[in-house]
């Protein structure tokens, strides 16, 4: 695929933004222009990145942050400890539902990508205080996205914090049931911040490329994460990366992906591609409406459905 072909597919799918709505339950995200669509694709075989549309517009990483934070938690604690705390099962419930801890899982969050599991993951990040923990997360995001310009969006952070009562209830429930250790308010402060950093589709494509490339950054040859970590995270992305739309996405698109309510989508096609998409209008499941349609076309064009 070349840039011209990607531009054509963006033009074809742009109108789908009209079928969605920005995440207006977070006041700062309610102000984002929904009429945006951009994509970046890192081709591992050619070791090159192509991009088109709004691929360099900065937007809130939101739940896509759960991927690098999970990878950092594995580095800090090892795989066994992380997955003794958090399960790896898919969910049919909303990403912020308490049922993601309650049913058949002995009081553990069902996976690291629902909010309860993500908060538990954040609680495992090493650091002497909340500021140190967040700075380690931020530095790791900059490295794995190859983007030194990633910064905290203070407006979104404060907006997240003001409206985060369901997340607080999930965190205190976990603390009360001995699922997590540490000070709940400090854990949540780090969590709200990790969701509020500004990224681009280009940087997200590079994150996807590291996962697709067995943990090696293709632009430098550096092993940023272990191959085992990359494999585990891609597996969970396949079953739980798009919440309760994950099954339908696997059927119709068929690549490991993770979404965020800022309008981002991150894809890792093993051994072939890392992809980043941005379009902020969301469908009923909280996933990018135009972004998913664009991904369908791109995956079909490249013939990389992993289930084919």
Please report, in range form, the residues annotated as the binding site. Answer: 63, 115, 160, 167, 191, 243, 261
Which candidate in 63, 97, 123, 259 is catalytic?
63
Six token digits for residue 229: 């970590």
Measure CA 57 to chain center: 17
Q: Residue 190 catalytic?
A: no
**232 φ/ψ angles, rounded to the nearest 5 degrees:** -60, -45
**Beta-carbon count within 10 A of 125 CB:** 24
Catalytic pick from 197, 199, 255, 261? 261
Give the separation between CA 38 and CA 56, rounded to whole angstroms: 8
Cβ pair 28, 43 in contact under 8 A: no
Name the active-site residue from 243, 246, 277, 299. 243
Mark whether 261 is an active-site residue.
yes
**How many Å apart are CA 100 and CA 96, to the nearest integer?**
8
277 forms bridges with which residues in the sheet? 39, 265
Q: For the chain, give the longest Cα–Cα distance.
A: 54
Q: How far is CA 54 from CA 34, 82, 86, 246, 262, in A?
A: 12, 36, 35, 25, 14
Residue 191 bears catalytic tag: yes
Report helix angle 66-77 to 115-122, nearest 10: 40
Catalytic residue among 191, 210, 246, 258: 191
Q: From the candidates 17, 65, 66, 273, give the one annotated as an active-site residue.
A: 66
66 is catalytic: yes
Feature table: binding site for substrate: 63, 115, 160, 167, 191, 243, 261
Judge whether 57 and 278 are in contact, CB under 8 Å.
Answer: yes
Catalytic residues: 63, 66, 191, 243, 261
């Amino acid at each position: 695929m070349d840039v011209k072909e990607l531009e054509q597919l963006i033009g074809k799918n742009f109108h789908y933004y009209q079928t969605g709505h920005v995440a207006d339950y977070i006041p700062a995200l309610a102000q984002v222009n929904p009429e945006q669509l951009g994509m970046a694709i890192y081709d591992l075989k050619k070791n090159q990145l192509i991009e088109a549309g709004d691929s360099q517009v900065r937007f809130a990483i939101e739940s896509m942050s759960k991927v690098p934070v999970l990878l950092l938690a594995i580095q800090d604690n090892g795989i066994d400890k992380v997955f003794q705390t958090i399960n790896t099962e898919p969910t049919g419930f909303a990403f912020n539902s308490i049922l993601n801890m309650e049913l058949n899982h002995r009081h553990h969050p069902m996976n690291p990508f629902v909010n309860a599991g993500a908060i538990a993951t954040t609680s495992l990040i090493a650091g002497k205080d909340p500021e140190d923990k967040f700075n380690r997360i931020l530095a790791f995001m900059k490295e794995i996205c190859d983007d030194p310009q990633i910064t905290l969006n203070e407006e979104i952070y404060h907006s997240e914090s003001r409206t985060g009562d369901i997340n607080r209830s999930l965190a205190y429930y976990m603390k009360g049931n001995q699922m997590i250790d540490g000070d709940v308010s400090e854990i949540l402060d780090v969590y709200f911040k990790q969701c509020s950093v500004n990224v681009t589709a280009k940087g997200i494509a590079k994150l996807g490329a590291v996962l697709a490339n067995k943990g090696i950054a293709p632009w430098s040859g550096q092993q940023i994460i272990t191959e085992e970590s990359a494999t585990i995270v891609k597996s969970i992305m396949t079953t739980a990366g798009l919440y309760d739309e994950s099954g339908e996405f696997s059927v119709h698109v068929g690549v490991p992906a993770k979404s965020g309510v800022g309008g981002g989508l991150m894809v890792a096609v093993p051994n072939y591609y890392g992809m980043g998409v941005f379009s902020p209008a969301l469908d009923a499941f909280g996933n990018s409406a135009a972004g998913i349609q664009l991904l369908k076309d791109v995956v079909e064009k490249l013939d990389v459905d992993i289930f084919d």
